[in-house]
Amino acid sequence: MTKTFFNSSRLERENRTVQKMIELYCHHHHRNGLKGCCSKCRELQDFAERRLSRCIYGPEKPVCAKCPVHCYKPAQREQIRIIMRWAGPRMLLHSPVLAIRHLLDERRPVPPWPGKKSRKKKEEYTP
């Protein structure tokens, strides 16, 4: 896993939260006995980190459950949904500060979509 440097503490915290959730899930479900995650979960961690580093919202990013942009591929989106659903309640025991901060972030309003600028309609040429 390569280390991505985020331009805000908010994105860094979001990344740590997702990484911790994946670690908890992997440790409980895959029981690989090794320190860290299995290869499948490591791939998902790398994918999540790449997606987070390229988020169009930047530091104003809403939590994934409220985000109108689906940046995950369908297979990874289903995987991360299962992981977050399982690990979310357990985060209060294992990383209470991250869990509470994530719960507070859920209450933030979704910012307007910073997508591409709309193109001006070209005037039709009429002879």
Sign of the torsion formed by the C-alpha atoms of 54, 56, 61 and 64: negative
Weakest-pLDDT range from 7-11, 26-30, 58-62, 101-105: 7-11
In contact, 56 and 115? CB cutoff 8 Å: yes
- Tell me if 115 is assigned to some domain: no
Q: Report pLDDT for 117.
A: 52
- Tell me if 112 is assigned to some domain: no
Weakest-pLDDT range from 11-20, 85-94, 105-114: 105-114
- Tell me if 92 is assigned to some domain: yes
Cβ neighbors of 23 (< 8 A, separation 6 or more) are 36, 37, 41
Q: What are 69-78's pLDDT values in tens digits?
A: 888 888 998 9
- Tell me if 1 is assigned to some domain: no
From residue 48, alpha-carbon distances to 11, 44, 100, 109, 119 in Å are 12, 6, 21, 22, 31
Q: How confident is the model at residue 65 (pLDDT cuts 50, 70, 90)?
A: confident
Total domains in the fold of the chain: 1
- Tell me if 116 is assigned to some domain: no
Rounded to whole angstroms, the Cα distance separating 102 from 109 reads 13
Q: Is the pLDDT of residue 125 over 60?
A: no
Q: How confident is the model at residue 105 (pLDDT cuts 50, 70, 90)?
A: confident
- Tell me if 121 is assigned to some domain: no
User: What pTM was estimated for this model as a whole?
Assistant: 0.78
Residue 82: which domain range? Answer: 9-106
Q: Report pLDDT for 35.
A: 72
